[in-house]
Structure 1
């Protein structure tokens, strides 16, 4: 039996879990793309066998220690399993979302120069139709759901049947500070950065921290822990490792916010803890307002990735039958992991409603793990307590750098302090109140708080995105179910807010989004014919 007290090694994660006697049941919304024959109900030992098998595929495809392996396919939990298989060989997995535009995917693959690209037929066909064949940027390509002969030189594009049957070599464990995994940032303001993490940063600092049985946060033996987010994101690695290390009764993985897939699994295996993209919670909010929803057992909700608005939090906290549910809101970045967290309760949300309702109070830095300071963005000198400034952090979980953009990385690092690119206020008690991304900053007030207030005062609004304009009032883009908005109600709702331009009304699907559901503001500005420059400098995106 392994002697590890927390998850350490990505490549042998599931072997280590099986060696500890893990009995957690794994429930899937649909079968794995790499092993559809296994169905939707798995166990840890079976997953460990699949990871070993996949490591054999990659060895047969020529992957060697130190190589980079790009993974770009339809969203599923098997991103995590493929990453484990790559790491088992001593190679470095790079997870790329299938939501990336073909041209953006091409740029990232050029930076990675992967020895192998793991993809599926849908992504390969769409990229080729757009004139950006991703296979030409990898030494070899493995298509997980297609037949042999999908184009390219002989032996260059492979299918699974061509690499099956090879035993994986013994696992290799990289140095704690060597590159372990690569993931990309959201890309809301342009081409995403490729972030490199090590065993120390993502497994020890992030997954290791979460694998303790913290009050409220730690998974319990009777929990059904459900995740509904982009499994291409680095969060998926830490989430999987920490959840399974604590051996809850079940782990459920949802790959889509489409209720046709998500609803049946949520009803069948009702979650006690639920982590999802903010956009997913918004899409499910009307479900939580109904009497037949599956959220009645939830004791803990977790949201990261993006801003979370008060009405959505209030709805889900009110939906559960648990006596004292909590909502854990985290703030962090792909480069750093979580930096602060705050627990929201029904009572706290009721107090917020007495003022301008907002969830921009992001709590305090993770104790003993992170430090924060706010500086003047022009002089880089510390600002007084309570004054908005550019937020810098210091954390042992800081990533190693950006693939192909080392200059960009170094421009954001001052000694051991990392420039988050966010504007915020540090309070007298050390808490953080987020104002804006620096690139999105308004001349007066903050777009995030305006968005919170609009969302709270107009129930028909699913989402509000405020875009800064250097030579005029900010432009609010308002999302409703039918693309219509009562103008009189709008004027009343924003009467006490800083001046805004007339709202632009859109439906949910009309807004460009990332794989984690964030609005791609740069693309949205272009579609609306707005100037590309904002009131911020954009120097630290």
Structure 2
């Protein structure tokens, strides 16, 4: 009963029980690499040995800047096996943000895909950067790790940073124990139900919150794993599903919308589950997945701070024969996974009833929920062991969560966060703009897109206004509406609820 819960135990289990199960990688829709768990285990041990030879010691952070491929999957276990902390870096961030994250984490070295080296060019002088050729050279010359560093289950195994939409990116660190227990939750029958019978396709980026923890679950259970490589496109994903007879995959709704359009070009009947996450799917999307693709759809909810899985939406048994009722359940965020606890709290911190009507901020705690940010306390986000999620939600009498609003008016487009506040500041940096407000409006493909409303001091061309914004291009609002004034609340704040209502009337989804 005193044996430590170590994430790396799953690697040994995969080698012992599932040596012949396969890991395949595609690039641009074509198979480029296939090997077994036996081969995978051997390469991981060599890579862990190489890390030790490079001077990596227990607790050191090792960064990855990589797409979904077999080398990245090897790093998922090799870094913790060497006693270090796997730090997966979001490759979609701007180089300045990437540099800030690498410095804040004080990473010892970086493994980067060759195509992504420009993103780390500003920080290369501070730490070694190993590209794909250097990676293979390390494995070819290294001796397999034989003496593993002594590790405690509370030691850190992985690190991931939030997208920094309400300030600088914040690090979330995961212990061996937290990821071990999170992995078991991923395999529950009423959760993702990953098992040896599955062939799992990793569409969710491996730099994003442990790829939902599914790579660890697949290794623990001996599922075949398939990696789509850099820049996967829906047509390629569909072909991979058909070729590999994939049974499970997960993705943000934006990708699923495009996948549905490829339905007639590939046989997707092998799928037993297509799990949606990142933002709530529309009813039409759920219907299309189940009726046009003939694939059961599910939804999961979580956060980087929750490793990331918090809930899973599987309909009640009584709804299985009723497609409309099933879709209603799937569009909710689902039931809490075992091991976690939750509350809904009002502005005074009092509990809100779980009646499906009363709203409150969602608070959550449990063995894989963060209680602080890495090297940054942020006491406003954590109190008495509870994570304050910032999501406003209801919970119905059957225990199904439904997120109804976001505390800080964040916009989630294609599964990625956009800060309305940052966009407003960027707009008002233009001398012609007196006031600005940015809200989310529904979008068929991206689920949400930003809409800007501005009050001008002097005339300005809106196209020029957008072109001058110092933000990532995908943040740029789809439209700028010039108004005479912005609605205000009784205390003088801009009334964003009124703006949303007007925008929705003006721009139906």
Scaled by the length of structure 2, the TM-score of the pair is 0.75
2:358 equivalent in structure 1: 387
Does the alignment pair 1:316 with 2:289? yes
Supply the distance in 1 between the matched residues of 2:211 and 2:415 (Cα, whole angstroms): 26
- Seen in structure 2, the aligned counterparts of structure 1 residues 280 and 267 have a Cα distance that, compared at 3 Å, is same
Instruction: Deviation per CA, 1:186-227: give whole Å up to 9, x if none.
Output: 445554321100011111x21022345x26843455432222
Q: 2:298 aligns with which of 328, 331, 341?
A: 328
Instruction: Deviation per CA, 1:26-82: give whole Å up to 9, x if none.
Output: 222139xxxx9x942111000011111211222232211221111113443432311
- Seen in structure 2, the aligned counterparts of structure 1 residues 268 and 172 have a Cα distance that, compared at 3 Å, is same
Q: 1:500-515 alignment to 2 at 5 Å?
A: none
Q: 1:251 aligns with which of 220, 225, 230?
A: 225
| C-alpha contact 1:475 1:501 (8 A) present in aligned 2 | no
Instruction: Deviation per CA, 1:358-380: give whole Å up to 9, x if none.
Output: 9652222224x222211123x22
2:333 equivalent in structure 1: 362
- Seen in structure 2, the aligned counterparts of structure 1 residues 27 and 346 have a Cα distance that, compared at 3 Å, is farther
| C-alpha contact 1:121 1:143 (8 A) present in aligned 2 | yes
2:273 equivalent in structure 1: 300
1:10 equivalent in structure 2: 7
Q: 2:137 aligns with which of 161, 166, 191?
A: 161
2:247 equivalent in structure 1: 272
Does the alignment pair 1:398 with 2:369? yes
Instruction: Deviation per CA, 1:144-169: give whole Å up to 9, x if none.
Output: 336xxxxxxxxxxxx75378523235
Supply the distance in 2 between the matched residues of 1:472 and 1:86 (Cα, whole angstroms): 44
The Cα shift of 1:529 comes to 9.2
1:436 equivalent in structure 2: 405
Q: Specify every segment of 5 or more residues in structure 2 that has no aligned partner in the other structure, as ranges.
A: 425-434, 447-451, 455-462, 487-492, 498-509
Q: 1:191-230 alignment to 2 at 5 Å?
A: 191-203=168-180, 205-212=181-188, 214=189, 217-230=192-205
- Seen in structure 2, the aligned counterparts of structure 1 residues 8 and 81 have a Cα distance that, compared at 3 Å, is farther
Q: 2:48 aligns with which of 40, 45, 55?
A: 55
Does the alignment pair 1:142 with 2:130? yes
Residue-pair matches, total? 449
Alignment RMSD, CA only?
Answer: 4.3
| C-alpha contact 1:364 1:432 (8 A) present in aligned 2 | yes
Supply the distance in 2 between the matched residues of 1:19 and 1:480 (Cα, whole angstroms): 44
The Cα shift of 1:320 comes to 4.2
Instruction: Deviation per CA, 1:97-154: give whole Å up to 9, x if none.
Output: 22121000011011111111222333222443xxxx122343x3322336xxxxxxxx
Instruction: Please give the secondary structure, in 2, of the residue aligned with 1:411.
Output: coil
- Seen in structure 2, the aligned counterparts of structure 1 residues 374 and 76 have a Cα distance that, compared at 3 Å, is same
Supply the distance in 2 between the matched residues of 1:164 and 1:297 (Cα, whole angstroms): 37
Supply the distance in 2 between the matched residues of 1:347 and 1:209 (Cα, whole angstroms): 26
1:23 equivalent in structure 2: 20
Instruction: Please give the secondary structure, in 2, of the residue aligned with 1:176.
Output: coil
Scaled by the length of structure 1, the TM-score of the pair is 0.71
Supply the distance in 2 between the matched residues of 1:63 and 1:413 (Cα, whole angstroms): 32
Instruction: Please give the secondary structure, in 1, of the residue aligned with 2:305.
Output: coil
- Seen in structure 2, the aligned counterparts of structure 1 residues 162 and 228 have a Cα distance that, compared at 3 Å, is closer
Q: 1:476 aligns with which of 430, 433, 441?
A: 441
